[in-house]
Amino acid sequence: MPAREPQRLTKRRDQSRDKRAEERTTDAQKPRPAAPRKAAAAPRKPAAGSRVPGRALPANPVRSAAVEPMRLSKRMSETGLASRREADEWIERGWVRVEGQVAVLGTKWQPGQEITIDESARKQQARRLTVLLHKPVGYVSGQAEDGHQPASVLVLPETQWRPFTGDAPPAPRVQRKDLLGLAPAGRLDIDSTGLLVLTQDGRIAKQLIGDDSDVEKEYLVRVRYGKGGRLPEAELKRLNHGLSLDGKVLRPARVTWQNEDQLQFILKEGRKRQIRRMCELVGLQVLGLKRVRIGLVRLGELPVGKWRLLAPEEKFAYE
């Protein structure tokens, strides 16, 4: 009997080892509790002299969500602060700040940065003139060509039109020196008459003749159909949309009859001799062409060969 005791002890040790192994396997299968998250770090205080987001800047700040850097002058032009030439002039004079720092020529604007304009620049901009001229036939709108004078020669102190409007006093009389630097904002060919804008303000030029301009121009056009009778309705529809010039499709227009020989054209582009060429494509001969409106500004009673100042409250487009 005593000889069997070692066998029992060996058996109990084996059973104990098996039980411990089973417990370890069970513990390994149990899900472990997630480690506690670290507390969020407290926001860092800005260093002395650094910029605090949201702090108000001087007057006229501009912010944007644009996605890539660009030249500061280009950014100012895109946002309507100034023309690119004007912006470069202001930067040279130290009148432009980006995030509170005085800008220099060649400065790159970064998305989200604030642009601030000095009040001196605003005052200079307010002195820039825009005039409305009733151009006669026989003058070109731009530089002199083929012996014909530019319409700008008509803009003289003695040809200024200063009508009384109700109880309001007439516009101030302009001196010759103040009329220097006027440039046409658009074309009106030598055989046409009507409203022509000349300006010293690059913002207005960009608004009227920039690549993305959407300002309407209205014309009254006397025509004669070369095939006799009246222009077919299908050809009138082509004038509204469906014609191409120089290989490019024209933007939609609004063309309607005003009376038996006069059409109204409303365009949002200004190709060279566009209306005359459009009419030729449908068999119409143009007998007379007059521009009577640009955007919200009308020719009105302005006499032929006279000019007037664009009034402070007048705008070419809604802002």
189 is catalytic: yes
Number of neighbouring beta carbons within 10 Å of residue 176: 10
Q: Can you tell me whether residue 202 is helix, strand or coil?
A: helix
Cα 250 to the center of its chain, rounded Å: 21
The rounded distance, in Å, linking the Cα atoms of 165 and 83 is 32
In contact, 134 and 280? CB cutoff 8 Å? no
**Partner residues linked to 131 by β-bridges:** 198, 309
In contact, 188 and 196? CB cutoff 8 Å? yes
The rounded distance, in Å, linking the Cα atoms of 176 and 185 is 20
Given 189, 191, 212, 214, which residue is catalytic?
Answer: 189
Query: Is the C-alpha dihedral spanning 261, 264, 287, 243 positive or negative?
Result: negative
Q: Length of the chain, please?
A: 319
- C-alpha separations of 85 from 63, 180, 203 in Å: 21, 16, 10
**Partner residues linked to 62 by β-bridges:** 115
Please provide residue 285's backbone torsions phi and psi, each rounded to the nearest 5 degrees: -100, 130
The residue to which tokens 């006499």 are assigned: 303
- Tokens representing 205 are 């030029």
The residues carrying an active-site annotation are: 189
